[in-house]
Amino acid sequence: MEIKYTTQGLLIYITIVVYLLALLMTLLRRPKAGHLLYILGFITAVVSFGYRWYHVRHIPMQNLFEVFLCLGMIYPVSLFCHRVLRVGGYSADMLIGAIVLVPAGFIFNAQPQRLPPALQSWLFTPHVAVYMLSYIFMAKAAFCALCQLAGKGLNSGENVLPAEQATYRMISVGFPLLTLGLILGSYWGKLAWGDYWGWDPKELWSLASWLVYVGYFHFRYMFGRRHPRINSAWAITGLVVIVITLLWVNLSKLFAGLHTYAI
């Protein structure tokens, strides 16, 4: 764990603090101030992402530091879920935004890297971007599922769906992106390495995470809302497998493979 005494580090820390202040204001029943601070945090996160982009001269999605920097720009997803999908947890999103920036600010190496030949492809940005977007939706789904298991509603009093239905809706939005990410990755593997499926640990964990959500849909089709706790357990398991896919596979020496450059 190290503090980054750089402009990049400063921008990350400001974003974390502003997100936490936004959460605090919301909890203190000052939603307008909370909302304004949330927007301010988002703007700082965008500036931080843009600064990194300028610094490395390619879209910053190459390694875990850059991916977590990207995940910090959660606000548009949060707003879309709240306004369009009627899924609550708006204040929890502020916390998620702050949490995902902590590894970027204190743990991951921010040393700029040149893109290796394999990453110089038009598929680089869409493959990583759709995965990141799907992970945010799946994280929100897991949060809704946790609320369901805890017997708590999502921001009671608001015009939002009950937790079990909100979980389903989040997974329904995130699943096509997860599928697209998997397929784009496979197609890219074919173009770069000659195999659309290389049995690489990252690929297998990604398949496992996709299959957990496939299982969720089939289970929910069979039993509907009769076993809400099991439905929620599927959603939480999905996020656990995603976290393993995103972090453990890249960081652990157990899983050496084609994706080790993404550290």
Partner 1 sequence: MDRLKYAMMWAGLTFILLLIFLSIYGAFLGSDRAESFFNCPALAFYWLAFALLLVAGITEFRRLLRVPCLLLIHAGCIFILAGSMLGSDAGGNLQKRLLGIDKIRKGRMVIFEGRSENRVISEKDEWVKELPFFVKLKDFRIEYYKPEYLHIQTHNGRTWKLPVEIDTEFSLDPKLGSVTILRTFENFKITIDGDKKVAIDDPEAGYNPALEVQIKDPNGNVTAKYVFERFPGHIHPEDKFLLSYHRVIRDYISWLEVIKDGKVLAEKDIEVNHPLHFGGYHFYQHSYDDKAGQYTILQVVSDTGLPLVLAGYVMLCAGVFWHFWLRHIFARVKSKSE
Residue 59 touching partner 1 (CB under 8 A): no
Q: How far is the CB of 7 from partner 1 (least distance, A)?
A: 18
Residue 40 touching partner 1 (CB under 8 A): no
Tell me whether residue 53 or residue 196 sits nearer to partner 1 (CB atom): 196
How many residues sit close enough to partner 1 to count as binding (CB under 8 A)?
A: 46
Residue 135 touching partner 1 (CB under 8 A): no
| Separation CA 257–CA 179 (nearest Å) | 22
Residue 187 touching partner 1 (CB under 8 A): yes
Under 8 Å CB-to-CB from 214, ≥6 apart: which residues?
Answer: none
Using CB under 8 A as the binding rule, the residues of this chain from 155 to 184 that contact partner 1 are 172-173, 175-176, 179-180, 183
Of 182, 135, 158, nearest to 85 (Cα)? 158
Q: How far is the CB of 59 from partner 1 (least distance, A)?
A: 16
Q: How far is the CB of 125 from partner 1 (least distance, A)?
A: 13
Count how many Cα atoms sit within 13 Å of the Cα of residue 124 in the half-sphere of its side chain.
18
Burial call 146-176: b when 16+ CB within 10 Å, e when fewer: bbbbeeebbbeeeebbebbbbbbbbbebbbe
Structure tokens at 197: 């499926």
Residue 212 touching partner 1 (CB under 8 A): yes
Under 8 Å CB-to-CB from 105, ≥6 apart: which residues?
Answer: 3, 4, 9, 12, 13, 16
| Separation CA 105–CA 82 (nearest Å) | 28
Residue 225 touching partner 1 (CB under 8 A): no
Residue 112 touching partner 1 (CB under 8 A): no
Tell me whether residue 158 or residue 195 sits nearer to partner 1 (CB atom): 195
Residue 114 touching partner 1 (CB under 8 A): yes
Residue numbers at the binding site for partner 1 (CB under 8 A) = 114, 116-118, 120-121, 172-173, 175-176, 179-180, 183, 186-188, 190-201, 204-205, 207-208, 211-212, 214-215, 218-219, 221-222, 249, 254-258
